[in-house]
């Protein structure tokens, strides 16, 4: 993990997804072991070489700190690791270690393996979060609450529509993440300059076998300086963070004591100095993760411009930002599932806040009712002046000749929800029909 290690892991690696140095090392070793097995299957390594390399390729067999020190001499840890792994094996098996590969092949492939695992974890958390959002949308399909634009009360909406919006964001982001996991996580195997010259005509076959060994896609050709896979992965991760961050921001605003329309469940949320506080910890933790995503995405996008056949620095610049983005996205998704599962919705507070606005959220409807008689601009101005002067909208309607029954109907928020219910139903239907991506 980055600076802070385990001290901040419970927040920024929530759910146990840690892209640790040991995880990196094991992914690198898994790539080397799979290459040895592929070479053996292609007839380019001795019988049993793949099994021997695989048995030795365990992170616990290596001095992580020493590999890190040696990395300073070559710009990455693979050369030192290859020497150490080579020294553990008998001659025929040792000959299969790293054959035809370059350091970037191994690290890029390791990145893809780390991403494959992380995306599976994130996808599961997003599925759980989406199920909870769907539950909230269905339960509160007709729960009336204030709609807010520019942080001010606008027209009435339903909490079901709010939750349906959360659901749609979660579903769309997890589908994109699943597509990247399925189609864009590819093995990297090209040798020094993308030609696989040391393997001769067998090179492409070894690349295909390597992809099969690792469960990664086989690319059309090596992608050493074509970093679209990395930027697409990063963008999909940032999309998840955007969807989770939206939910968290809404919750922090709705959970303010002055609003009080939702609150997080559980017993957490205490303050170090103020015993009365119930902080929205899960929402805050989500935002702590997701606020970092745009900068990491920008770094990875900037690093994508890479020169000639192998990059000088751009490739190196990807390792830590991508690992951090994977970790933070998994953490945000895990927090999001937890947040939505425990979210407490206060229907009474929603209605009380709406009523406290003195009918003003119905101003749009009142102006529309007066427009046939006064004209739209004049009706708008009349209602605006009444609101500014503190005159009730009921008085405005009464002055226009409406009956008490008509006035009551005109000022009933439940009667001015438009297609809110239909939109909730559509979001739930889309969620149900899509199933697991």
Instruction: Decide the pairing of beta strands 152-158 and 262-263.
Output: unpaired
Question: How many C-alpha atoms does 164 have within 13 Å on its Cβ side?
Answer: 25
3-state secondary structure of 63: coil
Which residues, including other chains, have CB under 8 Å from residue 310's CB and lie 6 or more apart?
102, 104, 192, 193, 224, 225
- Residue 11 tokens, joined: 């927040």
Q: What's the pLDDT at 268? A: 60
CA distances from 413 to 123, 147, 371 (A): 38, 11, 19
| Parts of the chain belonging to CATH 1.20.200.10 | 5-141+148-181+199-348
Predicted confidence (pLDDT) at residue 63 exceeds the cutoff of 50: yes
Contacts of 64 (CB under 8 A, 6+ apart): 21, 22, 25
Q: Retrieve residue 53's tokens.
A: 């390399």
**Is 192:161 a contact under the CB 8 Å cutoff?**
no
Q: Look up 267 and say whether it is catalytic.
A: no
Choose the catalytic residue: 175, 205, 249, 310. Answer: 310
| pLDDT of the residue at 218 | 97
The structure tokens listed for 336 are 């999001």
Spot the catalytic one: 2, 69, 83, 271.
271
Checking DSSP bridges between strand 152-158 and strand 144-149, what pairing results, if any? antiparallel
pLDDT at 275: 47
Q: Which CATH number fits domain 357-434: 1.10.600.10, 3.40.190.80, 1.10.40.30, 1.10.10.10?
A: 1.10.40.30
Range list for CATH 1.10.40.30 in the chain = 357-434
Cα–Cα distance between 117 and 290 in angstroms, integer? 20
Check whether 271 has a pLDDT greater than 60: no
pLDDT classification of 5: cutoffs 50, 70, 90: low
Instruction: Decide if 205 is catalytic.
Output: no
Extract the tokens encoding 366. Answer: 């009142």
8-state DSSP, 59: G
Q: Domain 5-141+148-181+199-348 is of which CATH architecture?
A: Up-down Bundle (1.20)
Taking the C-alpha atoms of 105, 111, 112 and 115 in order, what is their torsion angle to the nearest 10 degrees?
180
As a whole number of angstroms, the distance between CA 188 and CA 222 comes to 6
Distances 198 to 118, 183, 192, 222, 329 between C-alpha atoms, Å: 33, 28, 9, 15, 39
State how far the Cα of 211 lies from the Cα of 42, in Å rounded to an integer. Answer: 13
Per residue in 116-174, pLDDT (tens digit) is 999 999 999 999 999 999 999 999 999 999 999 999 999 999 999 999 999 999 999 99
């Amino acid at each position: 993990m980055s600076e802070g290690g385990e001290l901040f892991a419970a927040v920024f690696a929530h759910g146990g997804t840690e892209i640790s140095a040991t995880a990196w090392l094991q992914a690198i070793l898994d790539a080397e072991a799979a290459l040895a097995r592929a070479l053996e299957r292609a007839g380019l390594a001795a019988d049993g070489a793949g099994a021997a390399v695989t048995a030795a390729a365990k992170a616990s067999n290596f001095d992580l700190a020493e590999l890190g020190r040696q990395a300073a001499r070559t710009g990455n840890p693979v050369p030192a690791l290859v020497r150490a792994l080579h020294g553990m094996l008998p001659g025929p098996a040792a000959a299969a270690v790293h054959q035809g590969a370059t350091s970037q092949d191994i690290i890029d492939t390791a990145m893809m393996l780390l991403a494959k695992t992380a995306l599976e974890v994130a996808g599961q958390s997003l599925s759980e979060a989406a199920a909870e959002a769907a539950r909230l949308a269905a339960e509160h399909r007709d729960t009336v609450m204030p709609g807010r634009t520019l942080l001010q009360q606008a027209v009435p909406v339903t909490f079901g529509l709010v939750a349906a919006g959360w659901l749609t964001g979660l579903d769309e982001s997890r589908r994109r993440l699943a597509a990247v996991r399925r189609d864009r996580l590819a093995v990297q195997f090209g040798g020094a300059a993308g030609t696989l010259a040391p393997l001769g005509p067998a090179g492409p076959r070894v690349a295909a076998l390597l992809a099969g060994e690792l469960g990664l896609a086989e690319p059309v050709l090596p992608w050493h300086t074509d970093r679209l896979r990395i930027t697409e992965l990063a963008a999909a991760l940032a999309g998840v963070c955007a969807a989770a961050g939206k939910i968290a921001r809404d919750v922090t605003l709705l959970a303010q004591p002055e609003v009080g329309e939702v609150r997080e469940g559980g017993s957490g949320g205490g303050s170090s100095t103020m015993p009365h506080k119930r902080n929205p910890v899960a929402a805050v933790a989500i935002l702590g993760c997701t606020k970092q995503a745009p900068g990491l995405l920008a770094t990875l996008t900037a690093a994508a411009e890479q020169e000639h056949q192998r990059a000088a620095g751009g490739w190196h610049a990807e390792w830590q930002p991508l690992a951090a983005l994977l970790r933070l996205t998994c953490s945000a998704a895990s927090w999001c599932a937890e947040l939505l599962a425990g979210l407490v919705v206060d229907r009474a507070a929603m209605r009380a806040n709406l009523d406290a606005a003195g009918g003003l959220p119905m101003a749009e409807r009142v102006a529309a009712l007066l427009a046939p008689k006064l004209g739209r601009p004049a009706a708008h101005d009349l209602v605006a002046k009444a609101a500014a002067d503190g005159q009730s909208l009921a008085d405005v309607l009464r002055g226009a000749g409406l009956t008490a029954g008509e006035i009551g109907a005109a000022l009933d928020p439940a009667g001015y929800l438009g297609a809110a219910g239909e939109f909730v139903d559509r979001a739930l239907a889309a969620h149900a029909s899509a199933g697991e991506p």
